[in-house]
Amino acid sequence: MPTKKTAPKKAKSPTAGNKKKIHLLHQMMRIRAMEEKAYELYTQEKIRGILHLYDGEEAVAVGVIENLQKDDSIVGTYREHGHALIRGVSMNSIMAEMYGKAEGCSGGRGGSMHLYDKATNFLGGSAIVANGLPMAVGVAFAYKRQKNNAIACCFFGEGAVDEGEFHESLNLASLWELPVLFVCENNLYSMGMPFELAEAETNLIKKAESYDIKGEIANGMDVMAVVKASEKAIGYVRKEQKPFFLECQTYRYRAHSMFDPERYRKKEEVREWKKKDPITTFTETLKTEGILSEEELKELQDKVADEVETSVQFAENGTEEPVEDLARYVYSD
């Protein structure tokens, strides 16, 4: 007999827990829509330079950053649009930055890979692999000296594990007992190299433990799993004033960058991972549990579409930095 499909329950009255879940979904939708638009704009040559997109990994940024406090700092990578957005950097300023406009969060000088916003303690992305790890250790060191109970959160990909900065940073963070959360977004491919072909030991928790750092693995395609794991990890770092290593196993749908011909993985593999899509699966869960109705979903989609369109218009109407300012910020006064 054919399996009977479970009909979605009628939407429940909003509770704090239900509102939080809808909020998490909305945040992931914002990242996805912004990234899809960035892809489109890049093909139109509105956005130039190098562009690394975050499609598929949204649950990691949302699940971790939602548990951070405003005084905590975030250090990202070159795939940091989603982190900046969820941290509170406006989509307008992110889009303007990708356009290279003066209204961008880095004044149009950083572009896609160097978003920065002091007001939200988003300390920026970096084009250099693993560059953020020693930066986060330095920030955590300052926080410990200041005794202000803030922590540093560092996002990086599994490709950073190949770099010396990874080992130096974990060693010093452990040796000096610094309040830093290391979040590895393991998407299986460091550029075009399958992780298992690059590492003799692929168990990242073992690597962290070799520096006497506690670690945990989270399903990076499940936003609630990341929320739960990061809440525990952040609580540990803040209370114990020691580092913690959180590995979020996730997957990027698009190529490493817009210049990547992507010949290193099969299309079937990507299709299989898309069945675990963090937005689609969470949406269906909320519908089934009666937390989200079709009407509410449509409202979220419309709200996100309006925000994206507004950000594009903001960037389009932005101003170019004058040529006479070319040497500004290059030399100290």
For residue 114, the one-letter residue type is H
In this structure, what are the phi and psi dihedrals at residue 242, rounded to the nearest 5 degrees?
-135, 160
Say what the pLDDT of residue 198 is. 87
Q: What's phi and psi for 253, nearest 5 deg?
A: -75, -35
CA dihedral 304, 227, 231, 243 (to 10 degrees): -90
pLDDT tens digit sequence for 261-277: 888 888 999 999 999 99
DSSP letter, residue 154:
E
Residues 169, 308: Cα–Cα separation, whole Å: 37
Model pLDDT, residue 67: 98
Q: Which of 107, 8, 110 is nearest to 50 (CA)?
A: 110
Residue ranges of the chain with pLDDT lower than 50? Answer: 1-2
First and final C-alpha spacing in the chain = 79
pLDDT in tens, 213-241: 999 999 999 999 999 999 999 999 999 99
CA atoms within 13 A on the CB side of 190: 18
Residue of 161, 190, 160, 162 whose CA lies nearest to 260: 190
Backbone angles phi, psi at 156, to 5 degrees: -160, 160
In this prediction the pTM is 0.92
Residues 6+ apart with CB under 8 A from 57: 79, 82, 185, 187, 220, 250, 251, 252
Domains defined along the chain, listed by start: 16-266+283-315 (3.40.50.970)
Q: Which residues contact 167 (CB under 8 A, 6 or more apart)?
A: 211
The number of helix segments (H) and strand segments (E) in the chain equals 12, 7
Q: How far from the centroid of its chain's Cα atoms is residue 193's Cα?
A: 21
